[in-house]
Amino acid sequence: MNPTELSAHGKSGVSRRAFLKGSGAAAAATALVHGPGLVAEETKPNVVSVGLNTITLDVNGKQQKVDVEPRTTLLEALRLGLNLTGAKPISVDGSSGGSTVLLGGKPVSANSILALECIGKPIVTVEGLGGNSTAISGEIAVGAIDPVCRAFVNHDASQCGFCTPGFVMAVKAFLAKNPKATEAQIREGLNGNLCRCGTYANVIPAVVDVVKGARNGS
Amino acid sequence: MAVEYTWPPRDQTSVLGGSHNKVDGTAKCTGAAKYSYDINPDQMLLARALGCPHAHCKIKSIDTSAASKVKGVHLARALKKPGDEIRWQGDLVAVVVGETEGAVAEGLAAIKGDYELLEVFVNEEDLKAAEAAKRADKSGGKVQLQNEPEDENKDFENQEIERLFKEAAVVVEGYYGIRAITHMCLEPHGSTCDWRDGKLTAHLSTQNVSGTAGQFAGPLKITTDDITVHCDYIGGGFGSKFSADSWGTKCAELSKELNRPVKLMLDRDLELKNAGNRPSGFANVKIGADDQGVITIWDSHHWSTGGFGGGSVPQDVMPYVIVPPNFRRRVTNVKTNTAAARAWRAPNHPQGSAMSQTAIDDVAAKLGLDSYDVFLRNLVNVKDRGDVYAEEMKIAAKLIDWKAKWHPHGKGPAQGSIVTGLGMAIHTWGGGGVPSGCLIKIHPDGGVESFAASQDLGTGTRTVIAIVLAETFGLPVSAIKVNIGSSKLPASSPSGGSITVASVSESHRHGGLDALAQMKKLVAEKLKVEADSLVAKDGRIRDKSDPSKGLSWKEACSLLGMNALEVKGRGAPSPKSKLSSSGVAGVQMAEVAVDRETGVVKMKKFVAVQDMGLVVNRKTAESQIYGAMIMGIAGALFEERILDPKTGAFLNAEIADYRLPRLGDIGELVVEIYEPDSERARGVIGLGEPPVISPGAAISNAVCNALGVRVGVLPLTPKQVLDTLKARKA
């Protein structure tokens, strides 16, 4: 079966955004039609087909096409569809924070949300923080990567590193809401992310540093 | 010129012992680092395993026919046959391979298993029940008594031990324990296997890049030369990822059979049920001591389970570090319907510590003495490094302000229902290296790269290697390109037992110094000076006393001609080596606040003073200690494997249910590395394990100091604390 095109553009000229507005953001409200190759017709905007659909996601500022099933999580779409593997599958729910990404500016566990629910909302993954290079080097130029990533590197706030991308995204969201967070607030506000190696003691000063850096305008 | 394999003195180093960012820190913090779970070859299929729902049963049938018909499923297969016995919940009984996560999940749900249930036993803490169920085996012990029997007195042992207890100024009897925990690697066990043209590339999440390739050969009916194990990054191992495991080789077989790459990672619950747990430990301990708290006689019986096959915390960690001249210890193994235990960071030491250094603290409590003084006096009963412990105790006490904060057990001031307390413990570990190889290449254009089939567990292996070679060649750390993570590279040590840093430091310093000797020879010939008069420093190979006389590194390398200089490094750690050594001490002190009404224990301050010989990278060394302390807090206050005593079901095998500390739970942590010249002179010693040992006993002792009551069994959850307080009142 060929993936069916879900984005509503073409004949009727309905924009994807308008289409989504009509469809409602929640996939739960989306009717499922069983049967092969069913097309989400523009006249029936609330219908998606069982099986693969091609959708367009706004990831790290780019419109990216990805094939998903109605049951595909955002995490699976990112990791397997777009090969953006920074967000990690650690828990079955949101309890590890390992798959944290920003959706419409808010932190969500990408494994607890369906890809279809994310159409039309800007998604930022850890890869969107400027660290596209796989180069192995301990020295980072200011401006090369996000200040949160840089502070994590400078404070050695990663060990095995598997939880780190989720942690970085959680910190990013936390500081967006609490740009002047005190150490006490940092200790209160970042308990959604699990680290097994025990990097918390390094994460705390890293976040303190980002707050300080922002204050100093660096 | 004979090369002397040593480290430069402290005042002559340029990068060795400094605080360096991890060279792969940026990759880890930006999501660029690719773990086995992240490798997505073209045309890859996804596989998941199904775990048996029962802890003990016989397979009657596993029906995969419906699963095979699920759209998107390529293969559904039973991994067990009728008649096979299942001995723990979660043992893998089937596997499904499909196009998408959804298809695979649907396939797994369609598998029908029929099982004949068998008798389950999982509660090893209840020794009487274990004996009644015929699951307990005495597994030896040891008696050491200073006096010898005068004649053929068959009852000498009992009589002598009885006499020693009678003579003791104080006798303490207690029950102590620590429950089983899991490794909980955040990247579960598994691999992405890619079979192509008769060759296998296994992207395996492993602590053992050099040692696992051969494990795929038999099942795939090929030889190891056609196998590459690849692991650039591993999401946690802690002792549980040394083997390819049955699901690793199964993944490779499926890739071969389907002629597509296959990814098979364990689900979280299967990870916890199958892929690593640490044995529990429970002990009855009786101690006799003099009126100063110095232990004169020790008598203990401990039991635990290493899973369905038995196995246990071995006898030699009881008593732990502090071993009096007279002791008797006995061990009983209990078999439970749980998966086989795996090595867990500092195998058996945390249990030994939690079951014995708590008892020593109870001696202090009973005599009304300061725990610090009692531990200090008992250093006479420590075999090695007594002086190091004494120094480290002094430093730790100062950092936690022990003298000002100390109060006798249970006699501290209370603020409402909150009481505070102090506790300490001491530990030991080996951490020596093992023979390892490496290859070092110096290119005519000045580039330097190294190759070794090592791995980075998060300790910073790449960075350690880069620092060692940078120091050796007088170059910045960033000038060294380190290659690890492939079994095709020169064999190196697995990463376990804290052997990695000593192993790779030996091999790379060896090879580096040999390579430098050749470089010096070329420069000496060119400059017409003695090679002995040259030194590699600040990016130059130059005269020791006249920095202007010499060549830049690049100029020196151009003397190599067309080909790179290739030098093999051989690490051969031995007692004679000046580069590495084995054996450390370590002291930890904890301050806690306990709420007598809720039973909640909070970390206030936690101090670790740790020796490790010569420090290669201060920053990552400190991180290791912080991490170990936090992992120790987890075992002391939060985590335990909870099994249903009737069915043997693992009740908390998901992250939401398996309690671990979060960022807000750690209190103030203080790390002090003890590296006087006498320790630095011993060379590099591994660090990963030692600081994870003491937290259980130190925190338990602090809670006991706060409450005046021993909560005997870790973790000290609110329930444990409240139950103990309630029992005391009754």
Q: Are residues B418 and B442 in the same domain?
A: no
Chain B (67-106) residues lying within 8 Å, Cβ to Cβ, of chain A: 71, 100-102
CB contact, 8 Å: B670 with chain A?
no
- Look at B729 and B701; give whichever has higher pLDDT: B701
Helix (H, G, I), strand (E, B) or coil at A109: strand
Q: What mean pLDDT do residues B32-58 have? A: 98
Closest CA to B123 of B547, B670, B649: B649
What CATH number does the domain containing B415 carry? 3.30.365.10
Q: Which residue of A has its CA nearest to B455?
A: A160
Closest CA to B500 of B354, B612, B405: B612
Positive or negative: CA dihedral B343, B349, B350, B352: positive
Q: Which residue of A has its CA nearest to B632?
A: A198
Place of tokens 């003495």: B369
Of the residues B21, B24, B29, the best mutation for testing chain A's interface (the one with the most A CB atoms within 10 Å of its CB) is: B29
Are A88 and B23 in contact (CB < 8 Å)? no
Q: Are residues B424 and B325 in the same domain?
A: yes
Q: Is the pLDDT of residue B168 over 60?
A: yes
Q: Which residue of B has its CA nearest to A35?
A: B71
Please state, for a pLDDT cut of 90, what percent of chain B lies above it: 95
The answer to whether residue B384 is domain-embedded is: yes
CB contact, 8 Å: B64 with chain A?
no
**Rounded CA separation B177/B685 (Å):** 30
Distances (CA, A) of B689 to A157, B57, B348, B693, B704: 19, 37, 11, 7, 25
Give the confidence band of A135 by pLDDT, cuts at 50, 70, 90.
very low
Give the confidence band of B102 by pLDDT, cuts at 50, 70, 90.
very high
Q: Are residues B497 and B424 in the same domain?
A: no
Q: Are residues B474 and B386 in the same domain?
A: no
Closest CA to B46 of B329, B311, B261, B348: B261
pLDDT given at position A47: 57
Q: Is the pLDDT of residue A31 over 70?
A: no
Q: What mean pLDDT do residues B617-626 have? A: 98
Give the confidence band of B114 by pLDDT, cuts at 50, 70, 90.
very high
Give the confidence band of A136 by pLDDT, cuts at 50, 70, 90.
very low
For the stretch B88-112, what's the b/e string if a residue is b when 16 or more beta carbons lie within 10 angstroms of its beta carbon?
bbbbbbbbbbbbbbbbbbbbbebbe
pLDDT tens per residue across span B682-715:
999 999 999 999 999 999 999 999 999 999 999 9
Q: Are residues B222 and B348 in the same domain?
A: no
Are B477 and A163 in contact (CB < 8 Å)? no
Query: Which residues on B lie below 8 Å from A116 (Cβ)?
Result: none
Place of tokens 């009737």: B646
Domain boundary among the residues B571, B591, B621 is at B571
Q: What mean pLDDT do residues B549-558 have? A: 97
Instruction: Please name the member of B40, B477, B629 whose beta carbon is closest to the beta carbon of A138.
Output: B477
pLDDT given at position A30: 41
pLDDT given at position B721: 98
Q: What mean pLDDT do residues A3-8 have? A: 40
Q: What mean pLDDT do residues A45-65 have? A: 84
Closest CA to B179 of B413, B68, B336: B336
What CATH number does the domain containing B255 carry? 3.90.1170.50
Are A191 and B669 in contact (CB < 8 Å)? no
Number of domains in chain B: 3
- How buried is B338 (Cβ within 10 angstroms: 0-12 exposed, 13-18 middle, 19+ buried)? buried
> A45-54, B97-106, B148-157: lowest mean pLDDT where?
A45-54
Q: Which residue of B has its CA nearest to A154?
A: B21
CB contact, 8 Å: A58 with chain B?
no
Q: Where are the alpha helices (DSSP H) in chain A?
A: 16-23, 74-76, 147-154, 164-177, 183-189, 200-215
What one-letter code names the amino acid at A51? G
- Look at A216 and B78; give whichever has higher pLDDT: B78
First CA to last CA distance, chain B:
78
Closest CA to B680 of B595, B616, B607, B597: B616
**Rounded CA separation B21/B30 (Å):** 15
Q: What mean pLDDT do residues B491-517 have? A: 94
Chain B (239-278) residues lying within 8 Å, Cβ to Cβ, of chain A: 265, 267-269
Q: What mean pLDDT do residues B574-590 have? A: 94
Chain A (161-190) residues lying within 8 Å, Cβ to Cβ, of chain B: 161-165, 168, 186-188, 190
On average, the pLDDT of chain B sits at 96
> A104-108, A132-136, B426-430, B629-633: lowest mean pLDDT where?
A132-136
Q: Where are the alpha helices (DSSP H) in A34-193?
A: 74-76, 147-154, 164-177, 183-189
Q: What mean pLDDT do residues B237-265 have? A: 98
Give the confidence band of B573 by pLDDT, cuts at 50, 70, 90.
confident
Q: Are residues B613 and B508 in the same domain?
A: no
Give the confidence band of A19 by pLDDT, cuts at 50, 70, 90.
very low
pLDDT given at position B392: 98
CB distance B373 to B390 below 8 Å:
no
The answer to whether residue B451 is domain-embedded is: yes
Q: What mean pLDDT do residues B476-492 have? A: 96
Domain boundary among the residues B571, B595, B630 is at B571
For chain B, give the number of residues.
730
**Rounded CA separation A95/B658 (Å):** 10
What one-letter code names the amino acid at B612? M
Q: Which domains does chain A have, with CATH numbers?
A: 4-128 (3.10.20.30), 130-215 (1.10.150.120)
Q: Are residues B426 and B438 in the same domain?
A: no
What one-letter code names the amino acid at A158? S
Are A90 and B186 in contact (CB < 8 Å)? yes
pLDDT given at position B656: 96
The answer to whether residue B272 is domain-embedded is: no
Record the tokens describing residue A88, joined without a space.
Answer: 């990690």
Instruction: Please name the member of A132, A137, A198 whose beta carbon is closest to the beta carbon of B626.
Output: A198
Are A194 and B662 in contact (CB < 8 Å)? yes
Q: Is the pLDDT of residue A29 over 50?
A: no
Are B623 and A159 in contact (CB < 8 Å)? yes
pLDDT given at position A148: 95
> Which residues, listed in sequence order, are joined to residue A124 by a DSSP beta bridge?
A102
Range of the domain at B503: 10-29+433-571
Q: Are residues B720 and B592 in the same domain?
A: yes
pLDDT given at position B649: 98
Q: What mean pLDDT do residues B147-153 have? A: 83
Give the confidence band of B312 by pLDDT, cuts at 50, 70, 90.
confident
Record the tokens describing residue A31, joined without a space.
Answer: 């009717």
Record the tokens describing residue B664, joined without a space.
Answer: 């807000």
Q: Are residues B112 and B213 in the same domain?
A: yes
Q: What mean pLDDT do residues B380-385 have? A: 96
Q: Is the pLDDT of residue B497 over 90?
A: no
Instruction: Please name the member of A51, A96, A158 whose beta carbon is closest to the beta carbon of B25.
Output: A158
Instruction: Please name the member of A136, A163, A204 whose beta carbon is closest to the beta carbon of B24.
Output: A136
DSSP assignment of B539-570, as one string? TEEEESS-TTSEEEHHHHHHTTTTS-EEEEEE
Give the confidence band of B448 by pLDDT, cuts at 50, 70, 90.
very high
The answer to whether residue B147 is domain-embedded is: no
CB distance B244 to B212 below 8 Å:
yes
Helix, strand, coil shares, percent, chain A, to 5: 35, 15, 50
Record the tokens describing residue B331, joined without a space.
Answer: 């061990």
pLDDT given at position A218: 47
Chain B (507-566) residues lying within 8 Å, Cβ to Cβ, of chain A: none
Of the residues B26, B185, B659, the best mutation for testing chain A's interface (the one with the most A CB atoms within 10 Å of its CB) is: B26
Instruction: Return the number of other C-beta atoms located less than 10 Å from residue B183's C-beta.
Output: 23
Query: Which residues on A lie below 8 Å from B186 (Cβ)?
Result: 88, 90, 96, 98, 160, 162-163, 194-196
Are B102 and A188 in contact (CB < 8 Å)? no
Give the confidence band of A4 by pLDDT, cuts at 50, 70, 90.
very low
The answer to whether residue B690 is domain-embedded is: yes
Chain A (99-118) residues lying within 8 Å, Cβ to Cβ, of chain B: none
Helix (H, G, I), strand (E, B) or coil at A47: strand
Q: Are residues B205 and B295 in the same domain?
A: no
Q: Are residues B602 and B689 in the same domain?
A: yes
Closest CA to B634 of B554, B535, B717: B717
- Look at A172 and A140; give whichever has higher pLDDT: A172
The answer to whether residue B510 is domain-embedded is: yes
The answer to whether residue B157 is domain-embedded is: no
Query: Which residues on A lie below 8 Å from B631 (Cβ)?
Result: 196-198
Domain boundary among the residues B537, B571, B605 is at B571
Helix (H) or strand (E) holding B594: strand B587-595
pLDDT tens per residue across span A178-197:
999 999 999 999 999 999 99
The answer to whether residue B577 is domain-embedded is: no
Q: Are residues B682 and B607 in the same domain?
A: yes
Q: Is the pLDDT of residue B180 over 80?
A: yes
Q: How many helices (H) and strands (E) does chain B have?
A: 19, 30
Chain-centre distance for alpha carbon B395: 25
Instruction: Please name the member of A76, A152, A192 whose beta carbon is closest to the beta carbon of B29.
Output: A152
